[in-house]
Amino acid sequence: MKLLVRRAGKTLMLLALLFLFSQTARCQWPNDPEIDALVQQGIDEVYNFEFEKAEANFDRVIQLRPDHPVGYFFRAMIQWERISCNFDDESQDDNFYAQLDTIEDMCDKLLKINSNDVTAMFFKGGAVGFEGRLRANRGHWLKAANDGLVALPLVRKAYELEPNNYDILLGIGIYNYYAEIVPDRYPIVKPVMLFFPGGDRNKGLEQLRLASEHAKYAHVEASYFLMQNYFMFEKDYIKAMDLARKLHDRYPGNSIFYRYYGRCLVSTGHLGEARDIFVDILKRYDNKQFGFDSYDAREAYYYVGKYEFLAAHLDNALQDLSRCDELSRKLDKDGPSGFMSLSNLLIGMIYDEREQRDYAVKQYKKVMDMKDYEGSHSEAQKYLERPYIRSR
């Protein structure tokens, strides 16, 4: 229950904050083709985890327009991506907060000159929002909620001033979708929603679709959110896979897009293609490619191991699933994850196939002591009562 509350609270607090990455307003954007090209190239480099190249581009933007928040904001987003690649490392937090403070101070000065400066609203809203995202990830829930209450009015006012701006529409679409989804899935947070405006799930999806197709700077982020929503909440794996494939093809260095593509393939029954993707992820992890970390490897070992199990390659399956379990024991700080539970269930089934009943029973009992994931308890209980036998 504690973990459920934390997850629900985190999601709610970030309704107004999530991925304000590319939400820039056009009305006061620097009217300079060179700056626009540098920003577009830098955004692509950030998504492809080419941070040094992106940093050089955004530093050039700052040199060209030191009085505008654009360069400072996107340079801070490089720091955010570095943090998000390894949330266990808190050593870069202070640097990130300092960069955000610089952006907020700059925007406050612009808003004193013009209280309807849409660009200043969005860059400030984005900076405050990312403060809240990191605080929520660090467990500072009250501070994160306060950041949300500061950021949301800025985004909404900017949208009122520019209702036809598809980049701004991303933030509105995100809010509309999650403001309806979260209370339905986590009733415990409904009292907190009294402090937030109501949402509209279908309207939010449509707004995200429009942003993904027409936004100048935010179309990739909108596509990412659509992919997540189709996969996690709508269970429309075909639409999610189409978006995941396009994102991966465009940004092959992005481990997040790559993993989602693999998950979508699994969910649509393309197990062989999924196995190839997760084998490649493991190769990138072994080669220490930036962005491919222990979390990626843990997931890859699970899906490769499950494929090998279904193919009756028991030795390979046992090896991969055991590695998944080993990594889970290092990574699962809030109790056993689904990867740990399900990998142990499959290991028990392998032992049953090998007629090593004592080892199988130990595995099933382990699963029963963990949280129930995707029916893992009922499966483990069934095989405790009668050994697993592969269907012919």
pTM, entire model: 0.85
Tell me if residue 65 falls in helix, strand or coil.
coil
CA 376 to chain centre: 25
Residue 199 has pLDDT above 60, yes or no: yes
Which percentage of the chain shows pLDDT scores above 90?
64
Residue 23 has pLDDT above 50, yes or no: no
d(CA 256, CA 244): 9
Give 189's pLDDT tier (boundaries 50, 70, 90): low
CATH (one of 1.10.3470, 3.30.450, 2.40.10, 1.25.40) for 2-234: 1.25.40
One fold for 2-234 and 260-385: yes
The residue-averaged pLDDT of 57-66 equals: 96
Q: How much is the pLDDT for 85?
A: 78
Kindly state the average pLDDT of the residues 92-111: 95
Quick one: pLDDT at residue 21?
33
| Axis-axis angle for helices 237-250, 255-267 (nearest 10) | 150
Q: Report yes or no: 166 and 26 within 8 Å, Cβ to Cβ.
A: no
Tokens of 61: 């933007």
Q: What pLDDT is attached to residue 16?
A: 37
In this prediction, residue 5 carries a pLDDT of 35
Judged against a pLDDT cut of 60, whether residue 202 lies above it is answered with yes
**How far is 171 from 162, CA to CA, in rounded Å?**
13
User: In whole numbers, what is the pLDDT of the chain averaged over residues?
Assistant: 87
Residues 6+ apart with CB under 8 A from 295: 331
Q: Which two tokens stand for residue 85?
A: 């690649």
Side chain identity, residue 201: R
Q: Which amino acid is at 280?
A: D
Assign residue 371 a region (left: φ > 0; alpha: ψ between -120 and 50; beta: otherwise).
Answer: beta
C-alpha 346/C-alpha 269 separation (Å) is 19
pLDDT reported for residue 186:
65
- Rank 187-196, 218-227, 360-369 by mean pLDDT and report only the highest: 360-369
Q: How many CA atoms lie within 13 A of 183 on its CB side?
A: 17
Domain 260-385: top CATH class: mainly alpha
Closest of 245, 244, 206, 204 to residue 228, by C-alpha = 244
The two three-digit tokens of residue 88, written as one number: 């266990």
Q: Supply the Cα-derived Rg of the chain in whole angstroms.
A: 23
pLDDT band at 192 (very low <50, low <70, confident <90, very high): low
Q: If pLDDT is split at 50, 70 and 90, which confidence band does 9 have?
A: very low
**Which residue reads 């893992």 in tokens?**
376
Residue 147: pLDDT above 90? no
Is residue 215 pLDDT above 50, yes or no? yes
Given the structure tokens 């494939």, which residue do they identify?
245
DSSP secondary structure letter of residue 233: I
All structural domains of the chain with their residue ranges: 2-234, 260-385
Write the single-letter amino acid at 386.
Answer: R
Say whether pLDDT at 45 is over 80. yes
Position 4 pLDDT exceeds 60: no
Please compute the mean of the pLDDT values over residues 235-258 and round it to a whole number: 96
pLDDT at 27 over 50: no
pLDDT band at 388 (very low <50, low <70, confident <90, very high): very high
Q: What pLDDT does residue 188 have?
A: 66
Average pLDDT over residues 301-327: 98
* pLDDT tens-digit readout, 356-367: 999 999 999 999
Residue 25 scores a pLDDT above 90: no
